Amino acid sequence: MQVEGEPEGLYVSRGNVYVTCSASRLIKVYSGDGRTCLRSLKLQQDISNPWHAIPLPDSDRFLVSHGLEGGRLHRLCVIDNTGKVRAAMRLSR
């Protein structure tokens, strides 16, 4: 499997492979064998440096961590199926 867009995070669940791409702000969903891209979700503009995306159970939403430690926006967000933030929690030390 080759992924464009600076892949950062990888999560395997529900028979699919979820790849979080930092530079392009994308969540890509691949088939379990990694051969077919099933979906590509562009995150809204202020989701900078996404690291991990985990699909929420029985939902079309994702839990996404993004930002840089000590940065202006370092958060954990619930993202809907259009890439928009529906809930957010700022992360700090």
Examine residue 25 and state whether it is found in any structural domain, yes or no.
yes
Read off the pLDDT of residues 19-67 as tens digits, 9 standing for 90 and up: 999 989 999 999 999 899 999 999 999 898 999 999 999 889 999 999 8
Domain count, the chain: 1
CATH number of 40's domain: 2.40.10.480
Structural domain harbouring 39: 7-90
Q: Is there a domain that residue 1 lies in?
A: no
Q: What is the pTM of this model?
A: 0.87
Would 2 be classed as within a structural domain?
Answer: no
Note whether residue 18 is domain-resident.
yes
Is 12 a member of any domain?
yes
Dist CA 43 CA 14 (whole Å)? 22
Q: Is residue 24 part of a domain?
A: yes
- Segment 55-71, tens digit of pLDDT: 999 889 999 999 886 66
Residues 6+ apart with CB under 8 A from 44: 83, 84, 85
